Structure 1
Amino acid sequence: MQALHHDDPPRIGPHVTLGRLDDEPEHTAAERRFIVRGADGERTFLLRIPRHGTDPTRWAIEAEGARRLSIPGLLPVEEVGGGPAELPWCTAPYVPALPLPAALRAHGGPLPGPVVQALGAALARTLATAHAQGVTHAGLSPAAVLLTADGPRLSCFGAVRAAAPDGEHRSGLPGLDSGSLAPEQAAGGRPRPPGDVYALGAVLAYAATGHTVPERDELPGFLREPVTACLSRDPARRPQAQQLFPHPEPAAHAATVLDTATPSPIPLPASVVVALAHQSAQVLAAELPVPAHRIDR
């Protein structure tokens, strides 16, 4: 949990902010994310608001759409709020979480191969489930991936749709890593499942090398073929999410996975586990600040 700065809102809706999820220099997340305490002073949430430059109305529409979904690995939305005098916001129940860039910093560099492979399998399952339901994430980037002890969760749902009206050129969208944006979306095309697959390739490249557009030889052997295929400039040449990192499971277990909103755990380096524990301790020890004004548009 990062300390609040003078320009951070002390309150968002009825919630009191305890700290930021993202580092101050880190401007890759497509939304601003805070750890907050509820109005009752008991429950803790991960709360999100749109970044500056994002259409708040469209962002709220995407948040409401996410609230209606139950997809394993997609960060759930418990409540959507806001009003004419304040930015929209949405909440998820808090669990200790590190954005992927923060996890690499905690680890001191790219993640080990087995961790990246497990991460790729988990994210591919999430996208495959979403795509089977006719849902495109449209916001996948390294900062959208939150690592938790229970498995990765995807934040920033609908970021591309919220950041620019259909038909506008989408390069340089606020908070979006340009290396994660599929060429057809950067050119103004509507977000579709092949764009999610392109972004998944960029995310896995980042996890394994520290950047989203590495040279092929920089990738570990097990990633070269799938990441190269995901990053094809031709959407038709990209694999479908369910074709990546297949792991056969007994039918009964597979049904259980698809019928719940619980992500699948993956192995995490000890350094990342320590960072998650440290964040949890900070939240438990946090004292509520003196209530102040709400954030305005």
Structure 2
Amino acid sequence: MPMRIGPYQVFDFLGQGGMGAVYLTRSRGGRSLAVKVIRADLAVNRDFRRRFAREVTAARKVSGAYTAPVVDADTECAEPWLATMFVPGRSLWETVRTDGVLDGERVRELGAGLAEALIDIHAAGIIHRDLKPHNVLMGADGPRVIDFGIAHVADLPPMTDPGALLGTPHFMSPEQIKGNRLTFASDVFSFGLVLAYAAIGGSPFGPGSNAQLLLRILHEEPDLTALPDDLRRLVAACLARRPEQRPSPSELLDALAAVTAPDERTARPGPLPRVPTVWVPEAGPGGADFARNAHAVLDDGLTDALVIEAARHDG
């Protein structure tokens, strides 16, 4: 008997992650959808269900050319699920691993699409909190930002424990690592790391374990020397350690649009009003939060995409 999820018949299995399995299905009108079914052991957790229901409601408000919006969901059934528009194409992570880094013009096009996606996401009052190459699909008509699994509604209190680590270490902002209150600027820091990954094939904070990357993001400067001049300036502004010093997605879009020449030697970057300065570590209880976060990363801090990636590329 064919498997069904709510009103949908399953046509293919797409992947398995830490929160559940993802399947390919179609709407009654024939539109391809990706349906994520939450694991049974998470489904019986009341706190998880409340958070899942709240974030599905929030994610339904997001629409735009560069997102894959939620189109249907059932958060009350025995195995909660949500359906999003299916975007054929590889993730940015897979694209770079398979084909190599993107050239300057393609990185700028990627950046413009991601900036527009963040404008739409933030306009809905949502902080994505897990923007990374795994969650960027390279569609034929431009990139799509997906997976609002740990997104947070900016005007509502968090439903996770204070200081708990949620996100992917390689692409987290300093305030996210320390367990501080997040703003939309946290996504901008991740945006800068995603663009750097697309251009250089790794983190500007270097290789290493999750714990090593967390420490470098907090205390060291990124190496952006391999980036073209205009992208170096833009990414450096995004990676300012103080959130208030980072440009907004709208300012990023304006800066990318102002680059009129595709040749790195003649490209002219647009204005970025915020300039990163030297950051001095703040005193206070953040150190205890960081130690707890680092421990969580080493124990079981992998997100859905990293669990899949570890299974595919073990060793």
TM-score for both structures, normalised by structure 2: 0.62
Q: How far apart are 1:124 and its partner, in Å?
A: 1.1
1:116 aligns with 2:107: yes
1:177 aligns with 2:168: yes
AA at the equivalent of 1:104: V
User: Can you list the C-alpha shifts for 1:235-259, whole angstroms capped at 9, x where unaligned?
Assistant: 11111111114227xxxxxxxxxxx
Map of 2:293 onto structure 1 = none
Answer whether contact 1:71 1:129 (CA < 8 A) is retained: yes
User: Can you list the C-alpha shifts for 1:169-199, whole angstroms capped at 9, x where unaligned?
Assistant: 243x3xx321222111222233311001011
- Name which of 220, 239, 250 aligns with 2:228: 220
AA at the equivalent of 1:230: C
Fraction of identical pairs, as percent = 34
Q: How far apart are 1:137 and its partner, in Å?
A: 2.7
- Name which of 94, 101, 118 aligns with 2:93: 101
AA at the equivalent of 2:86: Y
User: Can you list the C-alpha shifts for 1:125-167, whole angstroms capped at 9, x where unaligned?
Assistant: 22234435544333312111111112211112262549x8345
- Whole-angstrom CA distance in 2 between matches of 1:76 and 1:167: 27
Map of 1:72 onto structure 2 = 65
Answer whether contact 1:145 1:154 (CA < 8 A) is retained: yes
1:57 aligns with 2:50: yes
* CA 1:245–1:39: 2 relative to 1, 3 Å: closer
Q: How far apart are 1:45 and its partner, in Å?
A: 1.1
Map of 1:293 onto structure 2 = none
AA at the equivalent of 1:78: V
* CA 1:11–1:242: 2 relative to 1, 3 Å: same
Find the residue that maps to 2:134 and give its secondary structure. helix
Map of 1:89 onto structure 2 = 81
- Whole-angstrom CA distance in 2 between matches of 1:227 and 1:200: 8
Map of 2:36 onto structure 1 = 48
User: Can you list the C-alpha shifts for 1:238-289, whole angstroms capped at 9, x where unaligned?
Assistant: 11111114227xxxxxxxxxxxxxxxxxxxxxxxxxxxxxxxxxxxxxxxxx
- Name which of 132, 135, 138 aligns with 1:147: 138
* CA 1:91–1:160: 2 relative to 1, 3 Å: closer
AA at the equivalent of 2:53: A
Where in structure 2 are there 5+ consecutive unaligned residues?
206-222, 259-315
Q: How far apart are 1:224 and its partner, in Å?
A: 1.1
Q: How far apart are 1:115 and its partner, in Å?
A: 0.8
- Whole-angstrom CA distance in 1 between matches of 2:149 and 2:70: 13
- Whole-angstrom CA distance in 1 between matches of 2:32 and 2:112: 30
Where in structure 1 are there 5+ consecutive unaligned residues?
1-9, 249-297
1:233 aligns with 2:241: yes
- Whole-angstrom CA distance in 2 between matches of 1:125 and 1:39: 27
Higher Cα Rg, which structure: 2
* CA 1:70–1:186: 2 relative to 1, 3 Å: same
AA at the equivalent of 2:191: L
- Whole-angstrom CA distance in 2 between matches of 1:211 and 1:70: 30
Find the residue that maps to 1:75 and give its secondary structure. coil
* CA 1:222–1:119: 2 relative to 1, 3 Å: same
- Whole-angstrom CA distance in 1 between matches of 2:50 and 2:240: 33
* CA 1:185–1:167: 2 relative to 1, 3 Å: farther
Answer whether contact 1:50 1:56 (CA < 8 A) is retained: no
Map of 1:168 onto structure 2 = 162
Map of 1:289 onto structure 2 = none
* Number of residue pairs matched by the alignment: 229
